[in-house]
Amino acid sequence: MQSARKSGEYHCFPARYLALISVAIILGSFLRLAWVAEQGFMEYDEGWLIDAASSMSLRLKGGHDIYIDFKASPVTIFLTALPIALFGQTAASIMYPPAILGMLGVICGALVAQRLYGPLTAVITLLIGAVSPMQVLFSRTAAIDTPGFFFLGASYVAIVWSIPRSKLSARDTILLFASGGFLGLSLAANYRALSCLFLPALVIIIREGLHFLALKKLFVHVVGFITSLGLLELALRFAYPPPLSTGFWGAFKDQYYHITSKTFGQTSSSFLPSLHIKDGLNLLLSVMDLDNVVALALAAIWVILFPFLLWKGSRRVSDLQLGVLVVIPIILFGMLTQTAARGLTVTQPFFALAAARGIILLAQLPLVRSMRMGSSIVIIALTAVTTAFGFYRSVQADVLGTRNAFDLAFKETCVKHNTGVILELDRGPGFYARRLNCKTSVLGMGASLYSLAKTHLEGYRFWLIDGQFSAYRDRFRYMWPSFEKRQPDLFIPAETYIRLDHFTSHALWLGSTYAQERQHYDDWIAKWGARLPVFDLSKHILPLEWNGGSDGWYRVGDAIVAMPFAAPAPYTYKVTWDSSRSGEGAQGRFIIPDYLERPVSFGVGLCDSTSGSQCNGFGFAIVATNTGLEAKLLKLHASEKVELVTIPMPKKYLNQATHVWIRCDSGSISAGFDEASVATYQAGGGCGSYNPALIARTDMPVESLELQLK
């Protein structure tokens, strides 16, 4: 140990720093724990984590459950399940683990700083990291981020606290074995640690140099990694024998493309991802929005000086190790994925260490050192300013938050009106609903107007539009335009829920850029402010008041939906028509859902305007299946619907909003898609005046965005 002190590898914390360390821990703990049980704490996509942890908590208490591991993160699930098993499914038991692990992760960063640069840099790192807005944000979120970083940070701590270039002592063997074990736990806690899998090994090589001793120490690290995942594999298979689970590697394999696409970018065609170098700037912009810009600027100073430090610096080995911890992950995420802001949570707390290093370098400039107490003044001033700004940014509503938007929303809807609420995309908000005994239903990706109408008719009165809709609205392609111009009936304050981090991380799903996602967010704020809009569907989904069999037809927003009949109907097709308009043709625009099961059917018709309450005329109906579509020209009558012409059609006519039309011209009935005519029939005689009609098969839904004269 004496040799370590002489080599500058070992530093104690002088007593004069204890006050600053106490301040940092108090500030950091306050930001992560204050009101954490009252705020909106569930990320949009992390409802699966609560479901999985709740299920595992039953197993921990000796009950029966199913194993859920959507993102191959069993360690985070266990860390969430344990307090649920001990204290019940409360907001506090769910939220305190990530908050505590977030603070411990910051301490890991300070311990690495102490080992690389000494106690002064460590104290500055602890102060800046304690008030890092991005780290605070994820510490206050029930997600996989802070558990993953804590174990990764612990892996680095174990490595840098071993003695470099010395024989493999028992102490170093334990530390290097532990470093591998912590790395395995990090991967099993947050799949994004996959991007950092080889970085601890690289740190070992940098510290030891390329010789046989380095290989021995690297071997111990790898053995620790394999052992931790092996024990985890056995534990899962023991707790959840097949087929309940396939162990950690089975879950990881099943989720490989999801995991790697979210970590590195799209990987559906190959093992290695493609480059997205142009998105590096988007990474910088998104992190600047989420984090402490003063700290980032100071870290940038170190990055700029990095090549010079490697050439002439007195701490070249330490700077090279820090470069592995910070620079390489930035390059990986900046070049390989568009969800870099979220991905960087596996390394972001080390930004504080880079900023602390930047402060020390500025204080060591010759001009600064030439002034009386210049170095001390620069260090104190820059540390104080950076910490103050970080604290100010961290207490903003989108980071800290003291109110739960969903509690407010459900109290204003289902509690007050004793009805259900429809949510968007994910099950996470349902946790808040269950606390209030409110029933909820979720509109998934690709949900349509029929989905919304069907759910409403099952007793769900309110439709709650959460902030995720701003990023995913294109996935609801033609449902949202039918409501976009309509004013919501309620606005729920949601400043703790509309958070920038998730908008930036949706870029990969949408194939867009950070700039576009930010525009989605800005559009949301410009339209509604930091609020959740709520539609009272009893005012927006109403029975259609048209002639002819309005039973089962509804006006949904500005569109029209026909609900299928469960019971057998006397006729295959049902018709409704708008008797307020008349002409010689009709055209409609219909939704072809991407995600809903086929077949679907839709059509337009002509009802003789002189036929009173019964439809006599012609129709053009389409049945779309997974393999193609079939067009039918129909003769419509009150007592029958006769199929006159049936034409198999290629799928090329289908698109997300298909236009179909029918027209009578000089006694000839023609019908088709867009401008293409695909069916004709000689009706004989002339053409009278017709009302435009919509046609639906009685057993299938129809979603019409519009019906017009042609």
What pLDDT, on a 0 to 100 scale, did the predictor assign at position 334?
A: 67
Whether residue 106 has pLDDT greater than 90: yes
As a whole number of angstroms, the distance between CA 365 and CA 381 comes to: 15
Whether residue 218 has pLDDT greater than 90: yes
Whether residue 149 has pLDDT greater than 90: yes
Whether residue 8 has pLDDT greater than 50: no
The amino acid present at 676, given as its one-letter code, is A
Window from 113-117, 258-262, 642-646 with minimum mean pLDDT: 258-262
What pLDDT, on a 0 to 100 scale, did the predictor assign at position 609?
A: 84
Whether residue 626 has pLDDT greater than 90: no
Mean pLDDT of 528-539: 90
Enter the pTM of the model.
Answer: 0.79
Residues 6+ apart with CB under 8 A from 7: none
For residue 220, which phi and psi values (nearest 5 degrees)?
A: -60, -45
pLDDT interval class at 313 (50, 70, 90): confident
Q: Domain boundaries in the chain?
A: 2-394, 405-539, 549-709
Residue with the bigger pLDDT between 596 and 288: it is 288
225 within 8 A of 184, measured Cβ to Cβ = yes
The amino acid present at 291, given as its one-letter code, is D
Mean pLDDT of 591-602: 67
Residues 6+ apart with CB under 8 A from 683: 618, 664, 667, 668, 669
As a whole number of angstroms, the distance between CA 609 and CA 578 comes to: 10
What pLDDT, on a 0 to 100 scale, did the predictor assign at position 341?
A: 66
As a whole number of angstroms, the distance between CA 592 and CA 457 comes to: 22
pLDDT interval class at 293 (50, 70, 90): very high
Residue with the bigger pLDDT between 646 and 364: it is 364
DSSP H or E segment with residue 78 = helix 74-87
- What token pair was written down for 651? 């799928």
What pLDDT, on a 0 to 100 scale, did the predictor assign at position 646?
A: 79
Residue with the bigger pLDDT between 345 and 536: it is 536
The CATH number of the structural domain formed by 549-709 is: 2.60.120.200
CB atoms under 10 Å from CB of 427, counted, come to 18
Whether residue 649 has pLDDT greater than 90: no
- What token pair was written down for 300? 């940038």
What pLDDT, on a 0 to 100 scale, did the predictor assign at position 548?
A: 61
As a whole number of angstroms, the distance between CA 32 and CA 349 comes to: 14
Mean pLDDT of 674-690: 83
Q: pLDDT for 361-415, tens place per residue?
A: 999 988 888 888 888 999 999 999 999 999 999 988 778 877 777 888 899 999 9
pLDDT interval class at 5 (50, 70, 90): very low
What pLDDT, on a 0 to 100 scale, did the predictor assign at position 324?
A: 93
